[in-house]
A and B are shown apart, each in its own frame.
Chain A
Amino acid sequence: MHLGLSESMRDCEYSQISTRTSTPMETPYKKKTPKKRKWESFPGRNKFYCNGRIMMAKQTGVFYLTLVLILVTCGLFFTFDCPFLALQLTPAIPVIGGALFLFVLGTLLRTSFSDPGVLPRATPDETADLERQIDGANGSTSYRPPPRTKEVAINGQTVKLKYCFTCKIFRPPRTSHCSLCDNCVERFDHHCPWVGNCVGRRNYRFFYMFILSLSFLTIFIFAFVITHVIILGLSGFHTYLISSNQTTNEDIKGSWSSKRGKDNYNPYSHGNIFTNCCVALCGPLPPSLIDRRGFIQSETPQLAPPTNGIAMYGATQSQQSHMCDQDQCIQSTKFVLQAAASPLLQQSVEPIILATCLDDGGSLPGRTSLPLGEPCNSLPLVGQPTPPTSNPNLSCHEPAEMLPIHGHGHPHPGVHHHHFLTPEEVPSPPGILPCGSPMGHNHGMPASFYNPASQDSLHEDSVRGLVKLSSV
């Protein structure tokens, strides 16, 4: 701005006459020949670039460091975090980040490259005049005159104006001489090495906007890096859980941690990470068991006990106390019959521990084993413990019903033919049941009785029964 005005003044060659010692005749012609620009003979310790358009302090190393830090940090953020965040969250993130980054860069460059408000040094005439005024009657001094101050009342407040020996002027209020740049700067704030320049009247606003926008940029990047890390961390954590076939709950409790015991290991793990991952991600998806859209049946006392069959694995005494032991025994027998009627006839024999029903109602044998290959004529059921033909829900309370269906005279003697399953061996999904025989059993049980839903409930009931049995 200032330079522009001097250009126009130079054109009319008006004021230069009184101050230049060069002959005026030369001046108009000199304009054609390349003249030195003022910055080339600038008395302060500044560096100029772009033919005087850019002005910086002498030491600019730290400024380049600032520039590198900002560029590298933002570069890394845009390269690594932004694609991920743009996809996961919103593409507005790189846009806002980019705008903020450009603003930071713009204000930094503006602060660093502009004139902070340097006061030009006094001309020799001015100096002479000033010295004359101060010295007064004294002759010219060979030694430096004593420090001079001028007092001025500004809006009621007395302010001392100091004389600057370097610039040979009385400094205006709020002006200070920067020793690094060797200039008097108006409204001098400080010399900032990070921007490589003084901060004064002309570039203070850019400096402020630079540090403000930089704070926002820092917070912005930090917040999103943390978000990225959290998302990554969570995925990483669950990747670990999947690969070791653990639940978060188990991990937190340390159920399968080796810290619990030397031989403590996760029994559900399939052994290798790959299998565990495959099972978790590509394994069969079990159906919903709660039958949300099913219709409520009219009340008949055929509802299964309120508790879930699976929960009965850990059945406590309190649950069992709901029913009398006799009931339990009868129930259990029925369940056993059902469970044993699964196609385990062809299965290899596994001795099963069957708890004795100690009550008076109990007459089950303590232990039985199923001889392999013995045809069990009494078992009409095939495959899974299927329900009797017309009654999908296993009733615990009518043992008598079951007997004719099974074709037994009595449940007890036939029991020993059956293959009893321990709770652990009771298969959960039908598919996993080691089914030795296909659906077409040689006893010719029609497969039409197969009903998955009822099978499940029946299965659960039988499991329940067995557990109860074992716990008696």
Chain B
Amino acid sequence: MTPPPLTPTNHRKVQLSHITTHSLQDLRQQAAVAAKVFIQRDYTNGTVCQFQTKFPSELETRIDKQQFEETVRTLNNLYAEAEKLGGQSYLEGCLACLTAYTVFLCMETHYEKVLKKIAKYIQEQNDKIYAPRGLLLTDPIERGLRVIEVTLFEDRSLGR
């Protein structure tokens, strides 16, 4: 049920496969009262984007604690990498300033690159781990980097 990677050529194919996935999801959504768990931000290290690794009680029956914490920890590391202050970020910033920020017309920022990586990681995690367990992780960027939204579906066996 792994959706193929999206490229312009196979977009149409993906759409079709997603129809099947969506219908599956749709069933799950329509059938079950979807519960949602929100993993809040962790501000103990300041304004850096970090999420609490505390395992929510609602997920206890669904997924392994270690697994979940691993996911959140990886996400935290990825966000830290995006906001890292280092030689590369300073270089990028200075170059951008000197070119009056026109360089971003052809190049994307380091942060944007990492966000793409995060999106791919979440998709991958969803497909491999969470979807089989009737869970769905929402990319925090969709929620303004406030929360990681975990949607709980009714536990149904998924053949496909």
Cα(A130)–Cα(B18), bound, Å = 32
Interface contact A8-B46, CB-CB below 8 Å:
no
Contact among B18, B25, B34, B101 with A28 in the assembled complex (CB-CB below 8 Å): B18
Docked complex: A10-31 residues within 8 A CB-CB of B:
11-15, 17-19, 23-25, 27-28
Q: Given A11-B11, A18-B151, A126-B38, are A152 and B112 also a contact pair (CB < 8 Å)?
A: no
Interface contact B3-A12, CB-CB below 8 Å:
yes
Q: Which segment of A167-175, A274-282, A437-445 sits at the interface? A: A167-175
A81 smallest CB distance to B (angstroms): 25
A408 contact set on B, CB distance < 8 A? none
Contact among B6, B25, B101 with A110 in the assembled complex (CB-CB below 8 Å): B101
Cα(A154)–Cα(B37), bound, Å = 25
**Closest partner residue, chain B, to A186 (CB atom):** B47
Is A125 an interface residue when CB atoms closer than 8 A count as contact? Answer: yes
Is A161 an interface residue when CB atoms closer than 8 A count as contact? Answer: yes
Contact among B46, B141, B142, B144 with A155 in the assembled complex (CB-CB below 8 Å): B46
Interface contact A129-B6, CB-CB below 8 Å:
no
A4 contact set on B, CB distance < 8 A? 112
A173 contact set on B, CB distance < 8 A? 43, 46-47
Q: Given A1-B111, A18-B29, A24-B26, are A159 and B18 also a contact pair (CB < 8 Å)?
A: no
Is B129 an interface residue when CB atoms closer than 8 A count as contact? Answer: no
Interface contact A24-B22, CB-CB below 8 Å:
yes
Docked complex: B135-153 residues within 8 A CB-CB of A:
136, 138-139, 141-144, 146-147, 149, 151
Contact among A120, A122, A129 with B36 in the assembled complex (CB-CB below 8 Å): A129
What class of interface size applies to chain B in its complex with A?
35 or more
- Residue in B18, B43, B45 whose Cβ sees the most chain A Cβ within 10 Å: B43
Cα(A202)–Cα(B37), bound, Å = 29
Is B156 an interface residue when CB atoms closer than 8 A count as contact? Answer: no
Q: Given A4-B112, A23-B26, A24-B25, are A18 and B34 also a contact pair (CB < 8 Å)?
A: yes
Docked complex: B62-113 residues within 8 A CB-CB of A:
97, 100-101, 108-109, 111-112
Interface contact A154-B43, CB-CB below 8 Å:
yes
Interface contact B119-A152, CB-CB below 8 Å:
no
A25 contact set on B, CB distance < 8 A? 19, 22-23, 26
6 inter-chain pairs at a CB distance below 8 angstroms, sorted by A residue, are: A13-B15, A18-B34, A120-B143, A125-B36, A152-B43, A154-B46
Docked complex: B9-66 residues within 8 A CB-CB of A:
11, 14-15, 18-19, 22-23, 25-26, 29, 34, 36-38, 41, 43-47
Cα(A2)–Cα(B108), bound, Å = 12
Interface contact B100-A106, CB-CB below 8 Å:
yes
Is A123 an interface residue when CB atoms closer than 8 A count as contact? Answer: yes
Is B116 an interface residue when CB atoms closer than 8 A count as contact? Answer: yes
Contact among A5, A106, A186 with B115 in the assembled complex (CB-CB below 8 Å): A5
B108 smallest CB distance to A (angstroms): 8
Is A448 an interface residue when CB atoms closer than 8 A count as contact? Answer: no
Is A219 an interface residue when CB atoms closer than 8 A count as contact? Answer: no
Known: A106-B101, A154-B46. 20 other contacts (CB 8 A): A1-B115, A6-B142, A9-B139, A15-B139, A17-B26, A17-B136, A18-B25, A18-B138, A18-B149, A24-B22, A24-B26, A25-B22, A106-B100, A119-B146, A120-B143, A122-B146, A152-B44, A153-B44, A155-B44, A174-B47
Is A187 an interface residue when CB atoms closer than 8 A count as contact? Answer: yes
Cα(A259)–Cα(B26), bound, Å = 102
B147 contact set on A, CB distance < 8 A? 126
Interface contact A17-B29, CB-CB below 8 Å:
yes
Q: Given A129-B38, A161-B43, are A15 and B142 also a contact pair (CB < 8 Å)?
A: yes
Interface contact A155-B45, CB-CB below 8 Å:
yes
A15 contact set on B, CB distance < 8 A? 136, 138-139, 142
Cα(A434)–Cα(B41), bound, Å = 105
Docked complex: A76-106 residues within 8 A CB-CB of B:
102-103, 106
A6 contact set on B, CB distance < 8 A? 141-142
Interface contact B123-A14, CB-CB below 8 Å:
yes
B34 contact set on A, CB distance < 8 A? 18
A152 contact set on B, CB distance < 8 A? 43-44
